[in-house]
Amino acid sequence: MSLLHQLPAQTMATAVAAVRPLLLGLNKRNHCPASRPTLKLQKKCKTEADRGLLPPWVFAHEIQNFGELQRLQQQVTLETGTGVRPQDGRLSPLAVNVVDSDSGGYLGCGLFHSRPLIAARLLEGVSASTALNAEYLGLKLREAAARRRGLPPDALDPAAEAAANREHQGCHAPSQTQQPALPAVCRGFYRLINGESIELLSAPLVAAIQEALRPSAMVLRNDSLLRQIERDASMQLYSALISGELSGWQWIKEGGCSFPVDLLNSPDTGEG
């Protein structure tokens, strides 16, 4: 059963309208690594790339072939069969391979959209032959879980909470290795997912979390007001319970204390 068909009835109408055009399965170019288009990163923007690192994101003027990718995105949107003209409605994001605009050398993988202020969010350490699917994301989740299990209890909690809140509130740490990761904030046996940055991977990410972590419920949060400043008026604000069940407030135990949170409506990724 697909992700959309697992949604509760009360959230189906909103979530279908917001999520369906963005699901990875609607764009065959994102399934096959060999068919991913190429994003050419301009030399003047490669200070970090020259040191073997990718910036976490790039703007339109930093992409040498931005116009080409913009036209391709419009074409792909028409190919998905949504029945919406690109100039009037939403555009389907593209997974792209990022290369050096001078040498053509491969730098990493990225997620491209021509309308937001940030035109591409980049993933470092992903080979050109790697498919961005549930299998890949599940592997990364299991690797992260294994590293976390090797740490003292609660060693990463303050840092993880702060990083998740920065992402949701639009404040980013200065780390050059920061990835456009989707923070899945632990709330007991629940997972609260901030989906504002990489909606293209929502479906495979949810599948990977279900397989690797098996939470009792998952909430997809795309309700940040930052979405309203993007240049795509069709980017809706919504929260959706996409698996499991929630009944009212959830009591969370953390640091020896218990407190209630509303995972669907609370600000700051679920904190009370």
Q: Quickly list DSSP for 14-46.
A: HHHHHHGGG-GGG-HHHH-GGG--EEEE-GGG-
Rounded Cα distance, 8 and 260, in Å: 23
What pLDDT is recorded for position 80? 62
Residue 174 lies in a domain: no
Residue 203 lies in a domain: yes
* 116 and 83 within one domain: yes
Rounded Cα distance, 31 and 119, in Å: 21
Phi, psi angle pair for 202, to nearest 5°: -60, -50
* 243 and 140 within one domain: yes
What pLDDT is recorded for position 232? 59
Helix (H, G, I), strand (E, B) or coil at 89: coil
Phi, psi angle pair for 21, to nearest 5°: -65, -10
CB distance 7 to 241 below 8 Å: yes
* 48 and 106 within one domain: yes
* Residue 178: count of CB within 10 angstroms of its CB: 16
* 57 and 99 within one domain: yes
What are the structure tokens assigned to 163, written together? 């990083």
The residue ranges of the chain whose pLDDT is under 50 are 1-27, 83, 86, 156, 158-189, 191-192, 194-197, 269-272
* 139 and 64 within one domain: no
Phi, psi angle pair for 115, to nearest 5°: -95, -40
* 138 and 241 within one domain: yes
DSSP bridge partners of 191: 186, 218
pLDDT in tens, 242-263: 888 888 788 877 778 888 888 8
What pLDDT is recorded for position 19? 41
CB distance 83 to 92 below 8 Å: no
The sign of the CA dihedral 165, 157, 111, 18 is negative
* 151 and 64 within one domain: no
Residue 156 lies in a domain: yes
Q: Where are the alpha helices (DSSP H) in the chain?
A: 9-19, 28-31, 47-50, 66-79, 134-149, 157-169, 202-212
* 143 and 60 within one domain: no
Query: Which DSSP symbol is given to 255?
Result: T
Q: For the domain that residue 58 is a member of, what is the CATH number? A: 2.30.130.10
pTM over 0.75: no
Torsion of CA 198, 12, 192, 267, to 10 degrees: 90
What are the structure tokens assigned to 21, written together? 């055009």
> What is the count of structural domains for the chain?
2
The range of the structural domain enclosing residue 255 comes to 134-165+185-261
CB distance 138 to 121 below 8 Å: no
Q: Which of 218, 137, 147 is nearest to 180 (CA)?
A: 137
